Amino acid sequence: MRVVIADDANAVAKASAQILCQQMIEQPSSVLGLATGSTPVMLYRELVRRYRAGLVCFSEAKSFNLDEYVGIDPKHHQSYHYFMQHHLFDHINIDPMAIQVPQGLSDPNIECQRYEAAIASAGGIDLQVLGLGANGHIGFNEPTSSLASRTRIKTLTEATVAANARFFKPQERQPSMALTMGIGTIMEARHILLLATGEHKAESVKAMIEGPVCAMHPASVLQFHPTVTIVLDVGAASLLNSQQYFYWVEKMRAETTPEKRENS
């Protein structure tokens, strides 16, 4: 597990974008797993900037999103279809036919089986982007989720519903269920890139990196993955006992490995 501690949320976005862009440069036909929520927005903004600057190309890429609300139209302003189009897909040269987001209006059981089959047919996910819930969820895999779970329908916790309520208008129906890639599905990605920012994520970050692996903190399962990069800002890393070690590792990495920088 590589842990990168950046100065602030903007630096987290830039460091994460560099990792994703390097993936695209080395493997233009990469299959990307993408996340929604407030944390990835700055990452997508930086990816769009780099695309417009001619630093990265997505023409051969494929993408699979982590999740979608059940019972919500893809054109709804709070659907994750809409989110991804608005923040990323409308601004880069990815083939619309290569984009996959779970269909929240489809029969959930059939859709989950279809989604798993589509990921397998694409050859699996090369780089999976994740955010981190304050309760440790990844995707919509809430605490108590099976660490071997596959894509399925999941009831959201009251805390998750409350945290997302700000995105919906007053009196607007807010979904309480979602289709989500399972933890087992996520863990099959070849490389996982997780972003977390803010002191309100610090306890969850500490449990993920330094706590025991358990279903009550789903993100802790990443300790078992062979290739995970976690990019944090200072606030999110503030409770880590090992933060000085992580700074040291990155210092040694910079001194011993030729750094691949963007020309901008």
What are the catalytic residues? 67, 135, 137, 142
CA proximity to 203, closest of 235, 233, 229, 230: 235
- Helix or strand run (H / E) with residue 179: strand 177-180
The residues near 103 (Cβ < 8 Å, ≥ 6 apart) are: 68, 74, 111, 179
Q: How far apart are CA 223 and CA 179, in angstroms?
A: 24
Assess contact for 70 and 177: CB atoms under 8 A: yes
Q: Which tokens in the block code for residue 208?
A: 């993920």
DSSP assignment letter at 31: E
